[in-house]
Chains A and B, each alone.
Chain A
Amino acid sequence: MQCISCGLENIPGLNACARCQSLLDFDGVAVLPPRARTRWRTRGRRLWNRLKSAVPRPPPIPASLRPVVFHSLVLGALARSIIPGMGHRSLGHRRLGNAILATWLLLLLGSVLFMQSWVGESCFTGAAAIHSFVILTHFGLNLGYEGLVTRAAFGLMIFAGVQFALYAPLRAGAGNLYAPMRVTNLAPSTLLSNGDLLLREGAWISKRPYERGALVAYQLNGFYTYATLNGFGLDRVVGVPGDRVQLEEGTLLVNGSPVPAACLPLGPLPLTQLDATLREGEYLIIPTLLKITVENLNRQTVDRFMAQISHVREDQILGRIIYRLAPLARRGPIS
């Protein structure tokens, strides 16, 4: 049988040419080409390729280091496990690698967007699980852990390691830079409502001291005269160290001057009288959005209690609120 492509006379019975691997038997070969029902898939692929070519590629690993990084069993597995999916891509499993990478990124995004809810925690655990799977795959491939039980044990170990040694510290570390926080159990206001996901500055980058009017999150952990409060509050800073803050006939005065509208607390004032001089390291933040129920107390006592809560130490302040992440329709900077 003569090959049509290269002309080689092949032994009868062969399916493909011995020289060029072209097909020799054409019976049953489909000749009807696939047709596009719409142009969207072609356009989508074209757009994707253009985007791909527009994105700059990371610098390649120097050729001298390549044998060390990729051909060493342990180092190769480690290098391929840094970003889930990239290792699979480098091994030629492009589709699986893309799927893993996309799922991992989606889970990470979900864990940020649904922070402090069971969905967010599930996403976070899922991302760690995917990372563990990737590490297990690469180390299993390279180190020959082929048995099912061995793999399962190794997998659990890897998952625990990834979750507690990598992801949890990373999350804690990231929280010191920027931390998402969800608004819960607050009285609604024009600026914030329950369910909002806010981004606040972490302790490492928050500029101190805070200025008047800054929207901050602060901790309420502690024993007060009439109640024990836990959790956090959100409101504007009314007075800074050294200020004298007074409440006269419903008007807040700082050092004798009325507080500008941009620096007023977010909600209605929960107290009727106030006269406080702030010491060093002490801020006045009136908890206008906190739902604090005080029973069997007269007005004067409530005022005293609220004034006590309003004095916030600098170390209690978590940081400024800078951005609203969700709901997506209302996302944007907050001031």
Chain B
Amino acid sequence: MAGRFSNLEFDDRSDRSETPAKQAQPRTTSAAAATTASAAARGKFDAASFLERAIAEYRWGRFEPALRFYTRCLEQDRTVIAAWVGQVQMLVQLDECREACVWSDKALELFRSNGDLLAARAQACIRLADRKAALASSDAAFQSPGSSPGRWIARGEVLLARGDKHAEHCFQKALLEPAADWFDRAVIGRIYLHYRQATNAIQHIASALERQPGHGYLWFLRGQCEAALAMTGTAADSYRRCLDARPDYSEAEAALQALGSISFGRRLLGFLRRRRLP
């Protein structure tokens, strides 16, 4: 029974105790006090806060809760394009690419020729091995106004899936965008990891770690790369650093335990994959 309700969301105790108290305030209080109370309440449940929480979950690699928060953000405000993009990206990360394609098409009906949505659609298509559609979406993303790291990252992934050597160039262009931050490097690392290029992935993740050394998810990603390269000792260290930053990070614990059961074949494969390391 417990498993059925494991995904239910409860707000913090503090919120629950605080809100009734604020509701219990007499109506006769001054207008300023009432506005302050409602603003405080709104501060917990408005679209911006849900978006913030979704991004925070995404940055910890927890795609399922992130998707839920993006959805709740859209329930509050359906015009937040970032949440639509985020939903598509989360579906892609959860390997529900067919659904991601459907959902991006729906979002594109609402926001025609939005570059970020088109880029997310390109990612979904390329994960479905539909290169033609992915390239078309990526082209359309660049034709739409504005620029963002996401478009270059999607382009890079499309090229990477095709085995094009210019993929890294696109990723570098993404990092040159003004809006690029450490997480974009982590995203690029994840993409390389998805395409089993752990040596390239580890370079980007190391670069992200230089900018955000305290973030546990980066250590977790680094551990995954090292595990893919059969560097079990350093991978264990990385997972431990992740657990130091966030002791309740169950994914790192599971990965740490799984390190002991890596087969000989995977070790050999990982050893062969090591080419050049930072």
Nearest Cβ distance between residue B66 and chain A, in whole angstroms?
A: 12
Question: Number of residue pairs across A and B with beta carbons under 8 Å?
Answer: 67
Looking at B110-118, B147-155, B181-189, B213-221, the stretch in contact with chain A turns out to be: B110-118
A220 to B71, CA, bound (A): 77
- Check A22/B99 contact, CB under 8 A, given A31-B71, A31-B74, A53-B129: no
B129 in complex: contacting residue of A17, A36, A41, A46, CB < 8 Å: A46
In the bound complex, residues from chain A placing their C-beta under 8 Å from that of B96 are: 35-36, 39, 42
Measured between beta carbons, the chain B residues less than 8 angstroms from A5 are 81, 111-114
Pick from A32, A39, A49: contact of B95, CB under 8 Å: A39
Interface residues as binary, B74-101 with A (CB distance below 8 Å gives 1, 0 otherwise)? 1100110100000100010001111100
Neighbouring A residues of B98 by C-beta, 8 Å? 36, 41-42, 45
Contact A49 to B128, CB < 8 A, known contacts A26-B79, A31-B78, A33-B91: yes
Q: Which residue of A lies closest to B101 (CB)?
A: A45
Q: Chain A residues near B109 (CB, 8 Å)?
A: 23
Give the A interface residue count (CB, 8 A): 24
In the complex, chain B residues whose CB is within 8 Å of the CB of A45: 97-98, 128, 130
Which A residues from 16 to 39 make CB contacts under 8 A with B? 17, 20-23, 26, 29, 31-36, 39
Q: Is the CB of A34 within 8 A of B110?
A: no
Is the beta-carbon distance between B111 and A49 smaller than 8 angstroms? no
Q: Contacts of A21 on B, CB cut-off 8 Å?
A: 112
- Chain A interface, DSSP helix/strand/loop, else mixed: loop
Sorting the interface of chain B by its residue count into under 10, 10 to 19, 20 to 34 or 35 or more gives 20 to 34
Closest to A49 in B: B129
Give the Cβ gap from B188 to chain A, nearest Cβ, in Å: 22
What residue in chain B is nearest A51 (Cβ atoms)? B129
Chain A residues near B87 (CB, 8 Å)?
33
A20/B112 in contact, CB under 8 A:
yes
**Interface core residue of B75, B78, B103 (most chain A CB under 10 Å):** B78
Point out the residues of chain A lying under 8 angstroms from B267, CB to CB: none
Q: Give the distance to chain B from A38, nearest Cβ to Cβ, in Å.
A: 10
**B273 CB–A CB distance under 8 Å:** no
Cα-based distance from A50 to B132 in the complex (angstroms) = 11
Judge whether A50 and B129 touch: CB under 8 Å.
yes
Shortest A31–chain B CB gap in Å is 4
Q: Max chain A CB contacts within 10 Å: which of B67, B75, B97?
A: B97
- Identify the closest chain B residue to A32 (Cβ): B71
Tell me the minimal C-beta distance from A145 to chain B in angstroms: 36
Tell me whether A33 and B78 are in contact (CB under 8 A): no
Q: Does A73 contact B (CB under 8 A)?
A: no
Q: Which residues of B contact A4 (CB under 8 A)?
A: 79, 81, 111
- Closest partner residue, chain A, to B75 (CB atom): A31
Knowing A5-B114, A34-B99, A42-B128, the reply to whether A26 touches B71 (Cβ < 8 A) is no
B173 at the interface (CB under 8 A from A): no
Asked if B131 CB lies within 8 Å of chain A CBs, one says: yes
Shortest beta-carbon distance, B140 to chain A, in Å? 13
- Among residues of B, the one whose C-beta sits closest to the C-beta of A34 is B99
Closest B residue to A39 by beta carbon equals B95
User: Which one of B71, B81, B91, B110 has the highest number of Cβ atoms from chain A below 10 Å of its Cβ?
Assistant: B110
Contacts of B180 in A (CB 8 A): none
Confirm or deny: B102 has a beta carbon within 8 angstroms of a beta carbon on chain A.
yes
With A4-B79, A36-B99 as contacts: A22 and B129 at CB distance below 8 Å: no
Q: Which residue of B lies closest to A26 (CB)?
A: B78
Closest chain A residue, CB of each to CB of B90: A33
* Complex CA distance for A41 and B101, rounded to whole angstroms: 13
Can you list 12 residue pairs at the A/B interface with Cβ under 8 Å?
Answer: A5-B114, A17-B112, A22-B110, A23-B109, A26-B78, A31-B74, A33-B67, A33-B99, A35-B96, A39-B96, A42-B96, A45-B97
10 closest A-B pairs by beta carbon, nearest first, are: A31-B74, A49-B129, A26-B78, A36-B96, A23-B110, A34-B99, A22-B112, A49-B130, A33-B103, A50-B129
- Given pairs A4-B81, A33-B91, 6 additional interface contacts (CB within 8 A): A17-B112, A22-B111, A22-B112, A42-B97, A45-B130, A46-B128
Q: Which residues of A contact B (CB under 8 A)?
A: 4-5, 17, 20-23, 26, 29, 31-36, 39, 41-42, 45-47, 49-50, 53
